[in-house]
Amino acid sequence: MKTSTTRTRRASISLALREAVHPARLLLVAKTTLAVGLAWTIAPHMPGVTDDYPYYAPLGALASMYPTLMGSVRSGLQTLIGLVTGIGLATLVVITVGPTWWTVPLVIGVGVLLSGTGWFGAGREYVPIAALFVLVVGGQDAEDYSLGYLTQMAVGVVIGLLVNVLIAPAPLTVAAEARVEAFRAQLGAHLHDIGSAVSESWPPEHEQWADDAASLADTSAALRAALAEADESRRGNLRARGRRGETQHIHEQLATLDRVAHLIRDISDATADTIWERPAALPLDPALPEPLSEACHAVADVIAQEDPSSSEGHRQRSEAAGAVRRLLELVDDRTLDVGRSMGPGVLTSMHLRRILILSGD
């Protein structure tokens, strides 16, 4: 168990490091650096009292930077709306009773309450922060401070959006498709592990596959989020013009793999229950492990096949269909012989047949 946990932690650290230096992430880093530098350079030249608060322009640029163009627009606008709301709350205090020991915490409390409504998105934290800054930092110059604060933040947001438009991020479609293909390979590998487990002496030496089954749902959820972000990365992006339907086939692939993953998790859970004699365990007919293992391996090859229409893909599918058919026939015969239809062999054979059908859609 300790070895398994260590391996999982190392895998998580490795994944986090790869994500940090991903080309799309590095491009965002470069654009953020450029936008912040431009904002800091331009801010001191703003007219009137606004040039007294140049440090807010880089903050605005930072707030508007997002991996996708539409995400940057949304984040920038939500930030400004949150600022306007917070400044408005502070202004009500300034023109009425003024900042006191009870009005400042009251306004902050109202700001925190409003930020929890979901109306402000990425700008939710700026509602109480803007109110606090105007009342505490602005003090007697609250009006000038509010104008400078809002104007310089807006300057930074506009600069950030311009940088994102001029250096448009590449659509994330290719990356999302690669992750879906990796998920396909993961499902095939997991079914191979199950096939090996049922043919080993029990309990099998390798049990990581049983722990990994629970992670399939998490992987699927992460892929749906990545695909949604890929769709968003195409909106308003000149680099994606003329290819707006490009993600449809990826959505269809992921929907199919989701269903396959559900069936594999069911097979994995039932097999693990039987192997380790858990409360839900059902006995496995002694005649089934070898044909069951053969069918699992054959169907796993079909799942992992990148080009089902190739000659190799047709060959693997034919072999898998034969292995599943032989398993189903044996399950039928053994059901009649022993007079019992319940068991992991029955469930697995049914699910493998369904997986094979789904893999051919």
Residues 141 and 193 in one domain: no
Same domain, 147 and 187: no
* Cβ atoms of residues 131 and 90 within 8 Å: yes
Tens-place pLDDT, residues 161-218: 999 888 876 677 777 888 888 888 889 988 988 888 887 766 555 566 666 666 777 7
Tell whether the model's pLDDT for residue 4 goes beyond 50.
Answer: no
| Whether residue 7 has pLDDT greater than 80 | no
Distance CA 153, CA 312 (A): 59
Phi-psi region of 65 (alpha: psi -120 to 50; beta: other; left: phi over 0): beta
* Residue 284 Rama label (left phi>0; alpha psi -120 to 50; beta): beta
Amino acid in position 253: Q
Let me know whether 123 and 28 are in one domain. Answer: yes
- Measured CA to CA, the distance from residue 110 to residue 136 in angstroms comes to 16
Asked if 44 and 106 sit in the same domain, the reply is yes
Provide the domain count of the chain. 2
pLDDT tens per residue, range 205-262: 556 666 666 677 778 888 888 888 777 777 776 666 655 447 788 888 888 999 999 9
Average pLDDT over every residue of 23-49: 89
Task: Tell me the average pLDDT across 313-326.
Answer: 89
Residue 2: per-residue pLDDT = 44
Which residue range is the domain that position 273 belongs to?
173-236+243-359
The CATH number linked to 210 is: 1.20.58
Which two structure tokens, joined as six digits, stand for 61? 């640029």
Residues 260, 349 share a domain = yes
Cα–Cα distance, 218 to 225 (Å, whole number): 11
Q: pLDDT tens for residues 80-105? A: 999 999 999 999 999 998 888 899 99
Last residue of a domain, one of 131, 166, 201: 166
User: Are residue 210 and residue 310 in the same domain, yes or no?
Assistant: yes
Has residue 347 got a pLDDT over 60?
yes
Least confident residue range of 94-98, 244-248, 319-323, 355-359: 244-248
Q: State which of 166, 186, 212 marks the end of a domain.
A: 166
Residue 77 has pLDDT above 60, yes or no: yes
* Domain's final residue, options 166, 182, 203: 166
Most confident range (mean pLDDT) of 23-32, 102-111, 183-192, 262-271 is 102-111
Give yes or no: residues 181 and 156 share one domain: no
pTM, full prediction: 0.67
Residue 123: pLDDT over 60: yes
Average pLDDT of the chain to the nearest whole number: 83
